[in-house]
Amino acid sequence: MAEKKEAIVFDFGHFRNTDGYGIRTMIFFKGCPLRCKWCSNPFGLSVAPQLAVNRERCVGCGMCVKLCSKGVNRINPEDHKVEMDFDKCKACGLCVQLCPQKCRQISGTKYTAEQLYKKVQRELTFTRRDRGGLTLSGGEVLMQHEIAAELLKICKRDYIDTCIETSAYARWEHLVEVAQYCDTVFVDMKHIDSDRHKEITGIPNELILENIRKLCEYMSERGKRVIIRRPFIPGYNDEESCTIGIAKFVATLSGRPEINILPYHNLGELKYKMIGSECEVQGLNMMKKKDEPIVRCAELCRQYAPENRVSVGGEAIEYPD
């Protein structure tokens, strides 16, 4: 018998109000082909399971040092806390159970589609009454398109509202394989200029723009929605020319997708330290919805995409009754 496909998932979110209609359950898929410098989900970048350690909670008991035969851990004599050589770690998870401070975890667990559905089914039964539902995020969920489609298909069988959040950097066939089971697709536009897009995310944007155009046609023909997210990151994509370019592009798309501006937040900084990597935008100030550059960004979007609704912050998106 053929082995069942498994998803690699690094987190779940519960009772959220920013990622789809009503109250959402979230599943975060591991692995992403982009490297956005401001990424707030560094656990989602690598597809492989990996060790994450909250060093702040460590009391230096040395249990993990004794247990691990790979020589990953040592106690720093200066602050008496653990230091890790993450390159040596095999993510076997042995040290996780043993740590008395519960400061270790393996980020990345395998599930079949049925197992994932069972895990969230109870919550969905409850939130579905108010048209809430399931949102798949990441990482980039399309890197695991087969199992994402399988899971969303089960949800549709049970009349659950479904969304994905994606960069749209994937083969069109993979995007449409998943989108066919979605009520809403959230897709990011990180920069309108392809060279600049490559500088700040690691990849150019031609495929993304082509996919967004096709996706808007595909979804609007079926009475479903695309929401264009415009993350606003000072120093990376905050130029007025970028906002104007995005708005002009969105104005040409089918279905008049809403533009949703997301002010920068820095909630991911600690997570970088936990996996032994560095946050490139360390110290960049969080933005608020009423900050002048955000207000101006919204004005420009309204000016250059006058037929499209413009909102700021995930909770401000308008959903039809």
DSSP 30: -
CB-CB contact of 168 with 212 (8 Å)? yes
CB nearer to ligand SF4: give 39 or 259.
39
CB-CB contact of 236 with 288 (8 Å)? no
DSSP 313: S
Query: What does the alpha-carbon distance between residue 94 and residue 68 come to, in Å, rounded to a whole number?
Result: 8
What are the residues binding ligand SF4 (CB under 6 A)?
A: 32, 34-36, 39, 41, 44, 51, 58-64, 67-68, 70, 72-73, 82, 89-95, 99-101, 103-104, 138-140, 167
CB-CB contact of 13 with 138 (8 Å)? no
Q: Which two tokens stand for residue 73?
A: 């851990």
| Nearest distance from C-beta of residue 219 to ligand SF4, angstroms | 20
CB nearer to ligand SF4: give 66 or 248.
66
CB nearer to ligand SF4: give 34 or 178.
34
| Nearest distance from C-beta of residue 4 to ligand SF4, angstroms | 26
CB nearer to ligand SF4: give 218 or 264.
264
| Nearest distance from C-beta of residue 175 to ligand SF4, angstroms | 14
| Nearest distance from C-beta of residue 166 to ligand SF4, angstroms | 8
| Nearest distance from C-beta of residue 139 to ligand SF4, angstroms | 5
CB nearer to ligand SF4: give 202 or 293.
202
Query: What does the alpha-carbon distance between residue 314 and residue 190 come to, in Å, rounded to a whole number?
Result: 16
| Nearest distance from C-beta of residue 63 to ligand SF4, angstroms | 4
CB nearer to ligand SF4: give 51 or 305.
51
CB atoms within 10 A of CB 146: 13
DSSP 202: S
CB nearer to ligand SF4: give 138 or 257.
138
| Nearest distance from C-beta of residue 149 to ligand SF4, angstroms | 19
DSSP 284: P
Residue 140's H or E segment, with its range, is: none
| 3 state SS of 118 | helix
Residue from 150, 155, 158, 63 nearest 103 by CA: 63
